[in-house]
Every structure is written in structure tokens, then in C-alpha cells.
Amino acid sequence: MLFRRPTTSPVSVGALWWRHFYAWHDGYFFKHRSCTKNVPCIGPAFRPVFAANPILIPATDTRLGKQLEGVTRFIPPRGVQPRSQNHLWRSIQAVWHSWNSPRALAYRQHHNLQNDGGSAVIIQAMVFGNAAGRSGTGVLFTRRPDTGENTLFGEFLPHAQGEDLVSGAVTPQVLSDLSTYAPKIFDELSHYAKTLERAQNDMQDIEFTFEKDTLWILQTRSGKRTANAAFRIAYDRVMAGESTREQSLTSLDPMTIDGLLYPHLIEPHELSPIARGLATSPGSAIGYLTFDPEAVTPNSILLRSETSAEDVPAMLLAKGVVTLRGGMTSHAAVIMRSIGKPCISGLEKATITPQGLEVNGSVFPIGTTVTIDGTAGILFQGQGTIEIPSFSFQTSRVLSWADEVRSLRVYANADTPEDILQAVTWGADGIGLCRTEHMMFQAQRLRLIQQFILAPTADWRNRALLELEILHQQDLSALLRAAGSKRLIVRLLDPPLHEFLPTSQEEKSLLASHWEQSLQDIEHRIEKRSEKNPMMGQRGCRLGLAFPELYAMQIRALFGAMDQVTASGLSPDCGVMIPLVSHVKELQTLRTLFYALDPKERRVDFGVMIETPRAALIADELAQWVDFISFGTNDLTQMTWGLSRDDCNPITQTYHGLGISDPFCTLDTVGVGQLIQWACTKAQSVNPHIAISVCGEHAANPHNIGFFHRTGIGAVSCSPWALPRVRLAAATAVLSHDGVSPPKGQSALWKRG
């Protein structure tokens, strides 16, 4: 355990943010070149319980040359012989070198950590738990790490060293037996355990050794714990007056709460891994490998090279999805996160063959029982054991404290009544993004929109729209009833039209037969709708410009649905959002269409998504015509980086080796973030009361919430299953030194939010 003294003007040294680094051993100091004083790093009150005051040697850079440049001289502990000094120095260098070992690199990559930190070396004089007399070694937690109960928990071994305990070669004794074996040691240990917990303001994981009835504390650190334990400890410490609500909130990792939301796999080591990939949607499920979307059942794990919009019905039905390609913001990842089912993307060294899934020469045929772990990104063979977690009273109370503190509104992306009800359960303030295209993939609706796109006559197209409007109004009415009085933002159709078109010969033949057309004519019409780069083609608002009757149908359906639910006594609060706008004339044209359909006295606003760099740069022009703007950070990142989010996995792996974070996971605050800041400033300069939000996948990452808070964003919208973590992160942003209140006059909340 080391205590370092921060200064008012910190300087970054590797991954450690302190100005001075000191080492102390029997009155001798090791001093780094940046030091200006000689101050011991361990406070006098704690020194008696530590094993021979340790030496701290910092690694200032991952490059060894830089590390060694920072060392002015090495002062060995008193009495160490020259040969031992050389051995000690080589050991120090080995620790530094271990920073770039394959295992360390793999660990940081798995946990999305950067490589530009470094290691610190602690040297301690040896104490012997295997000495004669009353001696031993052990590990304890100041509270139970599985439940959070306020009682000491741990194990010890008499006449043993630490490696005997951790190796598992010998069965240890429970910590409570120490009170009988060595009462004096147990009493001291209990005292120091509480002292260290108070000093560190957190539950501690402590390693100790006692030699001939003398106790030595070797190390203490914040203890790892289950999600339920984390929230119980935070709650209990506040109730006991040991911590404030604010301190407890900032002590929690927002990602911890995910463990309480998803089914998770117990004892995965008992299963045989088939392959690994990106953990793109958390949770676990057991099912049968299914390759054909038409053959999917509620017990299927759908395996595809990649998914598209036409796969959505099968994805909704399946227990989980695995794709060979794609990244964190691929189609499969986004859809499965939104519905709270597990997904793995970018499966390594895997191919789909007529025989089945082939991985490293092994073939797993259709129907193989598999277990998908979307939290770890591993596909297992066989049937695992899955546990369904739940919220405790303490967790709910801590989240309520977060809601009292945060200024960001937290909305959900939801496309079905079930999604909305789940979002409300997890504490959504409203629905910030309802993607209407996802309603169009039910069989009857898909047939009608295909008829609109491909029908040979205008009469057929108009009949398709009339039928589609009735069904669309029913869908929107169900969504409004589920939302109640909460705000619901409806985005008009966004994807390229070809995503709705049939791809199999069977589907094409059915259409040809239905319309009494030749198969060749149908294929010709489909070919006319194809695009070389559809994500940059006729999609978003360009659909509304090319087919204004399509957007008009959606707007009429929404107004009709609002009138229906209003008549039943509800007070719907809606917004209509236009996607992928890049020019103000696009927006003006569609705004004219919107108001020509006469919103009347309905509570409905008109807004725009900012998804292209050009839209961000002209945000002041756009803001004059709308009530709100929302940043679609998935597309904004894709277009700013020139990087396909569906094919980015190999590239982001290369980037990680260069110390570049995945821009689809961690917001690029220098590039994309600068566009967002610019757009906010420009929009508010002409429309001070404009409501501003973010509805891309970046809103689900707690690491991005501080930036959105500082920028003055009023709301974020994320998948329902990410809501609890984002609520907690929004409170942390206010309480931490990184979070500041939005400047006065800026919109901090959604309009009518």
C-alpha cells in the first residue's frame, strides 16, 4: 500500500498523475528526477503495520529508454550486497519490461485500456509466514465481496507463504478460525481492516502475513465485488454515516450495474469454446445453431456472415445472434442491444460452409447446441448454466440518488411497445429515438412497402400506401399508449429502399406471381434500386425528397395515432425527426410538408438529426427551422472518419495497437467531438432555447457522458438496457471534477421534457 501526496499542479508521469514520486527504505530515498523534496510516501500512522517501508520506483514511459533516463541513481537498501543489488536492479527492469508482454497487451486490449501508461515497482523486505512459532499468511475482504454484508471475509494458512494460498495447492482455513489460532493477530487485523477502509473510503482487499506473532500488512487495494455487493456497500456506507451519497455515487463504476440486467453464464470454464469475437451485446443464451433466418425458432442462435434489415424478424425471434463480420455499431450489434439480447460480432477464424460453422478445421453443423456469452464475446459448444439477476432495494435507492443529482435527461431508443415498457422500467425519462423502419419488417407491412417500391403502376403504389398508413397508425398508437405522457421522438424512414427488397429467388417469384409480372421484370426493377454505396446514397431525408408521399403517409399516421390516444384520455408528447439532413433546403422542403399536414394543437415538435459533418458545420442554418436537434453519432463518426462501421473490426484492432481507441465505442472528442461542440454553439447562437440531444451508440458508454455534460447537451438516448448505467454516469459527471454544469442560458433539458 502506498500513500502519495498530490500537488496543486500535477504533471503526467506515465499513467500516474502526481508531481513527485518517492521511495523510502530505512532512511534512504530513491528520488526521480522530477522530485524537488524528500518526503516519505507512507504516513507515520501506518508505517508500523507495513512490511519494511517499501520502495516505489516509477516507470515514466512505456519506452524503456525514457524510463531509465528518469532514474538519477538507484540507492539500494542498507546491507544489500553488490551481487544482490544487480539482481534487484534486473528484477526492477523485468517489471518494467512486463508492461509490453503479450499477456499484458492482451489484457489491456480486452479491457479497452490504452498502452501509453507504465508500471511502478514496489520493493518490500521479506517476512516469513512459514517461520516457526505462530506464523501464517492470508487474504481478507473488509466486507463480503459476494453479498456486500458488513463482515470480514477471507482465508488464511498457518505456516505458509502467499504463493501457497493463491496456488490452491493447500486448502485454507476460513478467516474466523484465526481468532482461535492467533487471537492477537485477529484483533489487530480487524482494527487495521476498518482503519484502511475508512482511509480509502472503500471496501478493501488486504494481503497479510504474520511472523512469530507480529502482523505485517503487505498490500491493500479496493476489492473486486459482485454488482449486488457494490450497490449494497455503497448504500450501507451512507446509512452508517461512513460516506456521503455523493461519495458513494462516484465510487461506483457505472458499468458494474450491467451485471444486474442481463442473464449471465455461470462457470463458463466447464464449457468448450468454439470461437471468440467482439462482445457487441451483453447477456447469455442457450440455443441451436441456425443459419437460415426463415428457419429461426424461439430456441435458435442465429448465425450470419452479417445481418441486414430483412433479418430483423428472425433476430427478434432468436435467443441470440452471432455474425462473422461487423463491429460495435454494426447492424446486428445495434439491433440486439436495443432488444436486450446477446450478440457476438466479428467471429475470429470462422467461416460458414454447407456443412456448418467451420472454426480451425472443426465443423459445427446446423442444430448444434451452443451457449452464447455476449458479455465476454465467446461462443461455446454445449449447454451452460445461466443465472437471471435482479435489482435489490439498495440498488434502486442508489439509482434514485443518481436521478436527484444528474442534469442530463436520459432517454431510450425503442421501436416496440415492449421496448418502451422495458425502458420505463429501467428509468427512462422518455423515448429519444423511435426508428420507424423497424416497424416495416413484419410480413404484411414488408409486402406493402415492397409493393410501393416495385409496383408497375401508380394505382398499385397508392393502394399500398393507403393500407400501410392504416397499419402504421396502429403501430404508432400502440407506441404512444406504452409511452403514456413521456416524450416520444419518431424518426421518419432512414434506410436505403433496397433494404426492403427481396433477395431470394423464391421471394421474387412470389411477387412476380402476385402482380402477374415476369420474374425478369421484377429483377429489373430491383436492379434499378441497387446502389454501389447505399449508406451514402438514397437514404434518410433523401427518401422523403424522392418520395414525399412516403413521409406524408408517416406524418398523417402519427397525427392520427395522437388523436386516437388523446381521445382515450392520454396526453401524448411527440417529436418528428428528419434523418441525414446535409443542406438547409432539404430541411425546409420537408418542414413545409410537415406543416402542410396541419399539426394543429397537437403537442408535436419538428426536429432534425445531425449525422453528417456538413450538417454540424451549418447547424446555425438548420437550427432556425427546428425545435430540437439530435446528434446521430454513429453516422457522424462513420462519415468523419471515412470508416464503415460494419467493416471496421480489423481496422480498429490495428488502431488499438497504435493506441487509438475504437471511435465507434469511445467518442472521438478531438474530431467528432469538435463538430458536436461547434454545432451546439452555432445552433444556440440563433435559437437559444433549442433542445439538444445525442442518440447514437456513444450515449450508452459511460466514458462519453462527461463530455456530453460539459458540452451542454440536454439529453442522451441509449438502448433500454444501458439506461441504469447512463443514469449513474450522468450523476458522476456532475459530481466529478470532469463534470461542470452547462453554461447559463444553454438548454439543459429537452423541450417540454
Catalytic residue among 20, 25, 264, 331: 331
Distances (CA, A) of 232 to 225, 240, 681: 11, 12, 41
Residue with grid cell 477464424, as numbered in its chain? 349
331 has catalytic annotation = yes
Cα 483 to Cα 486: distance, rounded to the nearest angstrom: 5
What's the DSSP call for residue 44?
A: T
Exposed / middle / buried, residue 54 (Cβ in 10 Å: 0-12, 13-18, 19+) = buried
Coil vs helix vs strand at 329: coil
Instruction: Give the residue ranges of DSSP H helices in 267-416.
Output: 312-317, 331-339, 393-405
- CA 711 from centre of chain: 20
- CA-to-CA separations, 249 to 175, 465, 724, in angstroms, rounded: 30, 51, 13
- 3-state SS class at 221: strand
Measured at the CA of 115, the angle between CA 111 and CA 118, to 5 degrees, comes to 110
For 346, what's the count of Cα atoms within 13 Å in the CB-facing half-sphere? Answer: 21
Q: Which of 370, 277, 260 is nearest to 318 (CA)?
A: 370
Distance CA(242)–CA(257), nearest Å, equals 22
Q: Which three cell numbers stand for residue 640?
A: 468523419
Torsion of the alpha carbons at 564, 568, 570 and 571, rounded to the nearest 10: 50
The single-letter DSSP state of residue 700 is G
Which of 169, 170, 174, 206 is closest to 188 using CA atoms?
206
Closest to 401 measured CA to CA, from 726, 706, 731: 731
| Residue of 343, 648, 680, 695 marked active site | 695
Distance of alpha carbon 77 from alpha carbon 124, whole angstroms: 10
- Report the distance separating Cα 389 and Cα 372, nearest Å: 17
In order of 263, 419, 422, 544, the CA distances from 728 in angstroms are 21, 21, 18, 38
Nearest Cα neighbor of 332 from 324, 323, 340 is: 323
Query: 715, 684 in Cβ contact below 8 A?
Result: no
391: buried, middle or exposed (CB in 10 Å: 19+, 13-18, 0-12)?
Answer: middle
Q: What's the DSSP call for residue 521?
A: H
Q: How many residues does the chain have?
A: 753
Extract the C-alpha cell encoding 248. 458513494
Q: In a 3-state reduction of DSSP, which class is residue 642?
A: coil
- Asked whether 432 and 693 are in contact (CB, 8 A), the reply is yes
Catalytic machinery residues = 331, 695
